[in-house]
């Protein structure tokens, strides 16, 4: 799935997706996380990782 398709499905702007992709995001709303998981049919743990 391309970023354009994902942005349309999740209703997030491309710039915000780019912020997520480049790791500059400071926080993610639960509503956004839910929408991404729904679009990608996955669990939050599949797309979130803790790096100490």
| Closest CB 27 distance from another protein, rounded Å | 4
Q: What do you get for the CA distance between the two ends of the chain, in Å?
A: 29
Check residue 40 for interaction with another protein (CB under 8 A).
Answer: no
| Closest CB 36 distance from another protein, rounded Å | 9
CA–CA gap between residue 36 and residue 17 (Å, rounded): 10
Q: Which of 1, 11, 27, 41 binds another protein (CB under 8 A)?
A: 27
Q: Which of 6, 7, 9, 32 binds another protein (CB under 8 A)?
A: 32
DSSP structure class, residue 45 = H
DSSP structure class, residue 2 = -
């Amino acid at each position: 799935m391309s970023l354009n398709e994902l942005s349309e499905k999740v209703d997030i702007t491309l710039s915000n997706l780019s912020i997520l992709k480049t790791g500059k995001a400071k926080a993610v709303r639960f509503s956004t996380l839910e929408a991404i998981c729904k679009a990608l049919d996955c669990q939050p743990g599949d797309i979130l990782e803790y790096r100490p």
